[in-house]
Chain A
Amino acid sequence: MGIRFILMVNKQGQTRLAQYYEYLTLEERRTLEGEIVRKCLARNEQQCSFVEHRTYKIVYRRYASLFFLVGVDNEENELAILEFIHLLVETMDRHFGNVCELDIMFHLEKAHFMLEEMVMNGCIVETSKNNILAPIQLMDKAS
């Protein structure tokens, strides 16, 4: 089914955004996030962007203090997901202007709305930044 979850986690391992596309109990999420964060944050720049964990493959990318971690199944193309992360970051960048951890933290709702425009049920819906941001801009105008 493609993307199983998307996590944004900072250097200290604090979750800044979590979106799951399959149901896991709270306990399962906590353990999973803990395990993945421990595994991925320990890795260095010279290592590849893919980590195998349980039945997931984690594709991750680091931007300054923030890690973007995407859990996929075997049906996904790893590099395409890696660049999808970048597309997400560029989209946020366009909206926030030089996006940083705090933007995502304090505009949790906007980050969620953007993500919702881009991914649905683990599949990519939209890759055009204009289209992704259109509803949010509308909302900003209205308020």
Chain B
Amino acid sequence: MRGLSVFISEIRNCQNKEQERLRVDKELGHIRTRFKNEKGLTPYDKKKYVWKMLYIFMLGYDVDFGHMEAVSLISAPKYPEKQVGYLVTSCLLNENHDFLRLAINTVRNDIIGRNETFQCLALTLVGNIGGREFAESLAPDVQKLLISSSCRPLVKKKAALCLLRLFRKNPDIVNVDGWSDRMAQLLDERNLGVLTSSMSLFVSLVSNNHEAYWSCLPKCVRVLERLARNQDVPQEYTYYGIPSPWLQVKTMRALQYFPTIEDPNIRRALFDVLQRVLMGTDVVKNVNKNNASHAVLFEALALVMHLDAEKEMMSQCVALLGKFIAVREPNIRYLGLENMTRMLMVADLQEIIKRHQAQIITSLKDPDISIRRRALDLLYAMCDVSNAKDIVEELLQYLETAEFAMREELALKAAILAEKFAPDLSWYVDVILQLIDKAGDFVGDDIWFRVVQFVTNNEDLQPYAALKAREYIDKPAIHETMMKVSAYLLGEYSHLLARRPGCSPKEIFGIIHEKLPTVSTPTISILLSTYAKILMHSQPPDPELQNQIWATFSKYETSIDAEIQQRAIEYFALSKKGAALMDILAEMPKFPERESSLIKKAEDTEADTAELSAIKSRAQQQASNALVVTDQPANDRPQVAQLAMVKIPSTNKMENNHVDQEVTQPNGIIGEAELQNGDILGDLLSPLAIEGPPGVSGTETLSEDGALALAPVGEQENAVKPIVDIAELFYALCVKDSGVLYEDPYVQIGIKAEWRGHQGRLVLFLGNKTTSSLDSVHAVILSPSHLKLVLSSVPEIIPPRSQVQCPLEVVNLHPSRDVAVLDFSYKFGTNLVDNKLRLPAVLNKFFQPITLSAEEFFPQWRSLAAPPLKLQEVVRGVRAMTLGEMANLLNSLRLIVSPGLDPNANNIVASTTFNSETTRSMLCLVRIETDPADRTQLRMTVASADPTLTFELKEFIKEQLISIPSRPPVPQQPQPTTQPILSSDPGALLAGLL
């Protein structure tokens, strides 16, 4: 085509991008006018212009016209035009394009027609961009072609991949029931082209439902045998003497979707082949042959790992991988490292792999970032107590030279490993401080908070940490984060160093104060606290120091920042109080033990697996199912739960509730542990508190019941009982914005809420139903750390038959599932009535619904690729509901379900945006894959750009989905004899006691 060649060379001759653009614009204008006036446009012209359009499109210019012309070429009678029409259409358009609809009839006629070349073209188009409508009208035709005995290989291979697309996109439309027999037949195919395509189709089918395709397993093994023994493989299908490496790889991949191979004969046959591959692959001179044979070898390794062969073969694999990670050839080294990481996840080979540690560390210094990344992943995976020190120190060293792209990951990994495997705490402090020093920009707040927690909770560590902080703060130009952590530590603990040179309060103050002009606003607040602490610790007071600090305080009394201003004023006033200051500014109390958010991240990452085969990862997740609340066997939890259980029935309700509140509130985990029992507790102890059958709440409310366990229990002591089911009301309010929160014979509390972004405004309506006034009315908000709640003043007396309104401002700081509690009490006559009511300021209130199209959803979904941003979990014990009900549930939580986005009808895809002060408005994506055969389990994947949000959201949805089995009333019989159950199940224990 001369015109096309001329155009291409003209473009090629353009000196710069601007010229190119002008030339393209000119051409587009020309094509447009030619297309407008169809007269005199020969098929050849059309073809030429359509090619030009494709070329221009490929250069990255928008081609927003002429699609019609491309599509119309499909109906051309002659092959050359038709071919161009098909090809260009499949490049320019996507499945949602309206013009495609116009072509459906032509495409169908070509597919069912007798012209084989036309059939191929049509099948290719559908295979590349066929959407729903194509599936609806064409799937049976394509299936017929695939199994027809008269259909020639060249058509058949395209039909196989065409069906693959239709099935993958619309599994609800394409009926593959009973296809296992047909698939088995296809796998008997002699033609390797057809077999290659069929194998791809098979992988897709079997990954969707391997149970249905057991009968095909022996066929796959036979294919491998045929290829491996090099029997009747036509010359043209061997590649550098190797029988189609691509088909071998595909077949081995297919086998990895079967959990295991039962039949000993087939197993033996397969292992023969694998053994031959493992042993018989030599390094040869020819690069292509080498690559091809190693492609097969690596796939064989993966398959052996998957089938978890006899240990003998496993150690062979390790030996091979050990060899690979030491070779010079970078590709093999890369894959060696990658596969070794996988291997760690499937088998317990830590010790053998550790032998290669030195080699792996060398790879961490490789000039190639791809290899360094693999080495980092592997080091992270193989780290344990024994080698943590070495590995973390290597990572720290590497941090200094690492490129920007890797630093954040490195810092996080080093911090996690240091915390997880610290041989002693001072080492941990060293590591984190070094980390902040070397890569402060990449160290998140949670990392330095964690150090402070450790130091606060370990007295032995305090002087050491203070000394270290003193050393770092001396350095010029230290990082802001280092400033924060050092200032905090010195404020708390520098008095422990007072005897050392250069560590007198005055000197410490001097050195910190020197840096004050260079730090940001949030850090100034920390420094002010530090000053107050230093002042408090300098006894007897040093008048000069005192004056200096007072001067600083008074300087900031007029700060524009409210936080700084408040601190300055308060500290100034407090510091005038002399000895009383000691009590007020005393050392921070120990933090309650809590699970590290970092470790949590780490564990999720592990549970989530790296790139294993689909089956493997599923198996892994099942193993780590401990994540599901209901079967959590973590050792410390039952104890806590028992504690709470024992206390609650005891007499003084107020005290206990407070204690429990304090114990549980800061620690989400304990809260969770408790919630399992909450429900039980409700059942066992209080037919009094909760109206309605206790079982009901089991189906409706799950997690929330846990926290609520506090409320009804408190009430049983109250002389006045609510006349509503508080749990149910709370639950209802979680999905709507106004309603009754609480009601008893005297008082009714209503609530009305408005939510905007990360803020909310609630109004509490406190109504006195009686004809006398209510006294001593108190309302206090117990807010979790992620919410800023400001309740306007509540009048102490509510006049008879009247209602007062108390606005409550809510600001969501960061994602968390914790729930705010309203402690509401009043006096009626001599009765003090006190209730703790959960406020419906829950996670989903900060969702803003959003509906995404496939084009918007998938790129986001893909870009949030891995933990901690994307987390996956298999959830068991899902309460009974249909898919529709589940979708409704999600919608009611403002997680908007996008029907049809997921090709599999058993899956639900939903999206929303979450708002908080730290995350701002952030997109959240959720995918739930259900199993039609087993409705009690599902796999959930949650993604957002914030790790905490992802985790909290995942847990939140899980709480909504699972059901805690409702327990029958306590049978009047001796304790069950099974001891282990008893000890691990506080509910049963309590049942026994009662």
Contact = CB atoms under 8 A, between A and B. Distances in A.
Nearest to B614: A75
A107 B87 CA distance: 14
B855 interface: yes
B869 to A, nearest CB: 11
Interface string B360-380: 000000011011010000000
B164 interface: yes
A130 B153 CA distance: 14
B334 A143 contact: no
A26 interface: yes
Contact of A47 (B55, B80, B288, B368): B368
B244 A127 contact: yes
A26 B62 contact: yes
A33 B234 CA distance: 38
A131 B193 contact: yes
B84 interface: yes
A123 B370 contact: no
Interface string B379-392: 00000000000000
Contacts of B247: 127
A131 B236 contact: yes
Given A23-B94, A50-B334, A77-B253, A82 B291 contact: yes
A80 B245 contact: yes
A113 B83 contact: yes
A69 to B, nearest CB: 14
Interface stretch (B173-181, B294-302, B412-420): B294-302
Interface string A100-143: 00000110110011001000110111111111001100110011
Contacts of A30: 60
Interface string A79-94: 1101110110000000
Given A47-B367, A120-B124, A131-B154, A55 B863 contact: yes
A51 B331 CA distance: 11
Contact of A125 (B193, B294, B330, B862): B193
Interface in B909-934: none
A83 B368 contact: no
A31 to B, nearest CB: 10
Interface string B335-373: 100000000000000000000000000000001101101
Nearest to A47: B368
B854 to A, nearest CB: 8
Contacts of A77: 249, 253, 295, 298-299
B657 interface: no
B236 A129 contact: yes
B368 A48 contact: yes
B567 interface: no
A125 B165 contact: no
Contacts of B94: 23
Contacts of A80: 245-246, 249, 292, 295, 299
A79 B295 contact: yes
B876 interface: no
Contacts of B5: 106
Interface residues of B, number: 76
B832 interface: no
Contact of B158 (A1, A28, A125): A125
Contacts of B120: 135
A52 B12 contact: no
Contacts of B57: 26
Q: Which of B87, B331, B333, B863 has the most CB of A within 10 A?
A: B331
Contacts of B295: 77-80, 82-83
Nearest to A2: B200
Nearest to A77: B249
B133 interface: no
A121 B161 contact: yes
B954 interface: no
The DSSP consensus for interface residues of chain A is mixed
Given A50-B334, A109-B51, A127 B164 contact: no
B246 A124 contact: yes
A24 interface: yes
A67 to B, nearest CB: 15
B865 to A, nearest CB: 4
A80 B9 CA distance: 35
A84 B246 CA distance: 8
A79 B331 contact: yes
A39 B196 CA distance: 32
B127 interface: yes
Contacts of B192: 127-128
Nearest to A82: B291
A50 B161 contact: no
Interface residues of A, number: 61
B291 A112 contact: no
Interface string B73-90: 000000110011001000
Contacts of B862: 54-55
A55 B865 contact: yes
Contact of A46 (B84, B124, B161, B330): B330
B8 A105 contact: yes
A116 B335 contact: no
B239 interface: yes
Contact of A123 (B200, B237, B245, B367): B200
B60 A26 contact: yes
Contacts of B162: 120-121
B464 to A, nearest CB: 40
Interface string B238-275: 01000011110110010000000000000000000000
A75 B61 CA distance: 31
Interface in B288-333: 288, 291-292, 294-295, 298-299, 330-331, 333
A3 B397 CA distance: 37
Interface in A17-34: 17-19, 21-26, 28-30, 33
A48 B8 contact: no
B470 to A, nearest CB: 42
B643 interface: no
A136 to B, nearest CB: 10
Contact of B87 (A2, A17, A113, A139): A113
Contacts of A74: 611
A46 B87 contact: no
A106 B8 contact: yes
Contacts of A123: 161, 164, 197, 200
B157 interface: yes
B237 A127 contact: yes
A128 B128 contact: no
Contacts of B333: 48
A1 B335 contact: no
A143 B78 CA distance: 12
Contact of A29 (B60, B246, B249, B371): B60
B95 interface: yes
Given A121-B128, A127-B196, 16 more contacts: A19-B91, A47-B368, A51-B370, A78-B295, A83-B288, A87-B239, A108-B4, A112-B91, A113-B87, A120-B128, A120-B197, A123-B161, A124-B196, A131-B193, A134-B154, A139-B83
24 contacts: A23-B95, A30-B60, A47-B368, A47-B371, A48-B368, A49-B330, A51-B370, A55-B862, A78-B334, A79-B292, A79-B331, A106-B8, A108-B4, A120-B128, A120-B197, A121-B128, A123-B200, A125-B157, A125-B161, A125-B193, A127-B192, A127-B193, A128-B237, A142-B80
Nearest 7 Cβ contacts at the A-B interface:
A79-B295, A48-B330, A47-B368, A80-B295, A74-B611, A123-B200, A23-B94
